[in-house]
Chains A and B, each alone.
Chain A
């Protein structure tokens, strides 16, 4: 199993450009989330999904869109990039199978380092 795969690993955008960060998981996990990590602020939830076709906003959703057309894929779209979106983005997935003693913590992808200039 590859786990959670994120692409690209690095990206530089100009202010106003749009782009899509890709995320795919091959573990048949129900839940997927996008986090951003900034120095001193920890991981903040952008959007999450509890299954194909179902998404919801997290703590910092403005400027981002998501969709979940399949169980495997959960892309994050930046609509019009701003310097404040310079960050490290992590996609993660988890399952509730095996609750309450199963391993139901999130598995993370390796991240996308995004710089907006």
Chain B
């Protein structure tokens, strides 16, 4: 089993739609979680950290479910500019390593 798994997509959604991605992780002791966004041929950029209580940043909401070992990203009122690949990142407890998922591709359609 991969340490971090994501549905590769693509998720094709119309403008204004709400879309959600999940990411599962295998190490139950993982302590830090993030969502990154990566545009084509660009570097990954931090979208948001994921806190145990869940957190929101504008149209983006991140949740952590430790019991089922997954994190989620919800995007409301999708914009064309949200089209990108979204990477899930997990930091297993006791290590300095950040493990990246292979990403979920989102296409927002006009």
**Could you tell me which A residues sit within 8 Å of B by CB distance?**
31, 33, 35, 40-45, 48, 50, 56, 58, 90, 101, 103-111
Contact, CB under 8 Å: B44 / A43: yes
Contact, CB under 8 Å: B97 / A110: no
Complex partner residue of B100 from A42, A101, A107, CB under 8 angstroms: A42
Cβ-closest chain B residue relative to A43? B100
Contact, CB under 8 Å: A33 / B98: yes
Complex partner residue of B45 from A43, A44, A56, A108, CB under 8 angstroms: A108
Complex partner residue of B49 from A43, A50, A103, CB under 8 angstroms: A103
The A/B interface has a contact count, at CB < 8 Å, of: 47
Contact, CB under 8 Å: A111 / B43: yes
Contact, CB under 8 Å: A31 / B96: yes
Docked Cα-Cα span, A50 to B98, in Å, equals 12
Contact, CB under 8 Å: A35 / B100: yes
Cβ-closest chain A residue relative to B103? A42
Contact, CB under 8 Å: B32 / A104: yes
